[in-house]
Amino acid sequence: MNTRHLIDLDQLSIDEIKYIISLSQEIRSKPHEYIDVCHGKIMATLFYEPSTRTQMSFQTAMLRLGGQVIGFNDPNNSSVTKGESLKDTIRIVSEYGDIIILRNRYEGAAKAASLYSKCPVINAGDGAHLHPTQTLTDIVTMSNEIGRLKNLSIGVCGDLKNGRTVHSLIKCLSHYEGNRFILVSSSQLCVPKYLTDILDENNCEYVFSDDLSASIGDMDVLYMTRIQKERFESEEEYNRQKGRFILDSEKLKLAKKEMKILHPLPRVDEISDEVDEDPRAMYFKQAEYGLYARMALIINILEHESKRIDPIEKGFTDRRCHNPNCITSDECYLPNLFIKREDGLFCKYCDARDE
Ligand code: NCD
């Protein structure tokens, strides 16, 4: 693989993604052939935000490959509470471990960590921004259960504004030909503009909807998500949004017989329990595929790795990203990194447009 860190799935070509998918299938069918592949390697899981599946599936993946695991799942038990910067934590941990899995509440945190790490950093969720390994999980599931990643009508429903899994998924699937997106949400929780820009750039068709029953019949895949309570400014605002889109047996009667239902989990109330018994429900199997997707990714990332720090990128010195949720708003030593595109200047950490 050409990339050292995995911050965004865009770093991988379609062929590299295809390779990871097929390796995950191979590992799933012959797990005993991989039990020693990471012998002697150490994974550090640094989770500054809560997690069940992502953290445990990464840890299980490494243990099943014969490696070992260190880390924290509550920064309150680490020197972070003493005021240690992300940069210092990463410098130290990348000395101990061979690969770092990082989840943080700030957008762009994984990119920031990669600047100071001696070993590869994998983004396990950076605020409301991206979650590339959940997307690998999702596309491994789709490849296995649908048999293709192109020419699909993909419904995405729930909190499209704050759901990082949604952002990574839309970005990734927009690169496959013939995909069409049905974006089901309230107007307050619709996808950020930079994502519809990406859909436009890739000539993907998309429609907005605020009615799941009216649009479900067109979908080959329905990706349900929870309303991201922790990203709201107040409880009242969250209460105004919760419970607006619920998938139940009644709505499922309007869907295609072969439609697949995905959800990154955890679910709150957006899928009724009765749906679990429907053969179209894939979300528990999806979590299982996630284990093999992560095993394949770890093998690929560690393959040719030796410890080193790349020279720190230099940026514009007089500009700061305006996004209050960007990692640069919390860690002031970070260089101001922007990328110029046709339609403006964008923060390299969090993708926000410079205003
Ligand atoms: C997701 C996450 O953390 O973004 N969960 C996961 O990693 N499987 C989805 C969510 O929290 O809603």
User: What is the residue with the minimal CA distance to atom 1 of ligand 1?
Assistant: 264
H or E stretch at 341: strand 338-341
Expressed in angstroms and rounded, the spacing between residue 265 Cα and the centre of ligand 1 is 6
* Active-site residue flag, 54: yes
Q: For the residues 350-355, what does the mean pLDDT come to?
A: 90
Between CA 344 and CA 340 the distance in angstroms is 6
pLDDT of residue 333: 94
Whether the CB of 125 sits within 6 Å of ligand 1 = yes
Given the residues 30, 32, 82, 193, select the one marked as catalytic.
Answer: 82
**What are the tokens at 337?**
């990194």
**What are the tokens at 207?**
């429609």
Single-letter code of the amino acid located at 98: D
Query: Which of the listed residues 54, 162, 185 should we mutate to test ligand 1's pocket, taking the one with most ligand atoms within 8 A of CB?
Result: 54
Reduced to 3 states (helix: H, G, I; strand: E, B; else coil), residue 340 is strand
Between the CA of residue 144 and those of 25, 140, 187, 282, 293, what are the distances in Å? 8, 6, 33, 11, 12
pLDDT of residue 316: 66
Taking all residues of the chain, what is their mean pLDDT, rounded to a whole number? 95
Q: For the residues 295-321, what does the mean pLDDT come to?
A: 84
User: What is the residue with the minimal CA distance to atom 7 of ligand 1?
Assistant: 54
Atom index in ligand 1 nearest the CA of residue 228 equals: 12
pLDDT exceeds cutoff 90 at 318:
no
User: Are 338 and 39 contacting, i.e. CB atoms less than 8 angstroms apart?
Assistant: no
If pLDDT is split at 50, 70 and 90, which confidence band does 317 have? low
Query: Which of the listed residues 131, 138, 225 should we mutate to test ligand 1's pocket, taking the one with most ligand atoms within 8 A of CB?
Result: 131
Whether the CB of 158 sits within 6 Å of ligand 1 = no
Counting residues of the chain whose pLDDT is more than 70, the rounded percentage is 99
Whether the CB of 164 sits within 6 Å of ligand 1 = yes
Between CA 154 and CA 222 the distance in angstroms is 6
Q: What angle do CA 26, 31, 33 make, to 5 degrees?
A: 90
Q: For the residues 227-245, what does the mean pLDDT come to?
A: 96
H-helix segments, 190-234: 193-201, 212-215
Given the residues 41, 118, 131, 167, select the one marked as catalytic.
Answer: 131
pLDDT exceeds cutoff 70 at 90:
yes
**What are the tokens at 301?**
């990332």
CB-count exposure of residue 218 (10 Å: 0-12, 13-18, 19+): middle
CB-count exposure of residue 317 (10 Å: 0-12, 13-18, 19+): exposed
Between CA 47 and CA 93 the distance in angstroms is 13
For 285-350, the DSSP string reads: HHHHHHHHHHHHHHHHHHTT-----PPPPP--SS-----TTBGGGT-TTS---EEEETTEEEETTT
pTM of the model: 0.96
Atom index in ligand 1 nearest the CA of residue 54 equals: 7
pLDDT exceeds cutoff 80 at 2:
no
User: Are 321 and 329 contacting, i.e. CB atoms less than 8 angstroms apart?
Assistant: yes
Question: Model confidence over 113-170: pLDDT tens digits?
Answer: 999 999 999 999 999 999 999 999 999 999 999 999 999 999 999 999 999 999 999 9
* Active-site residue flag, 53: yes
pLDDT exceeds cutoff 90 at 53:
yes
Given the residues 41, 103, 118, 294, select the one marked as catalytic.
Answer: 103
Q: For the residues 266-281, what does the mean pLDDT come to?
A: 98
Counting DSSP H helices and E strands in the chain, the numbers are: 11, 11
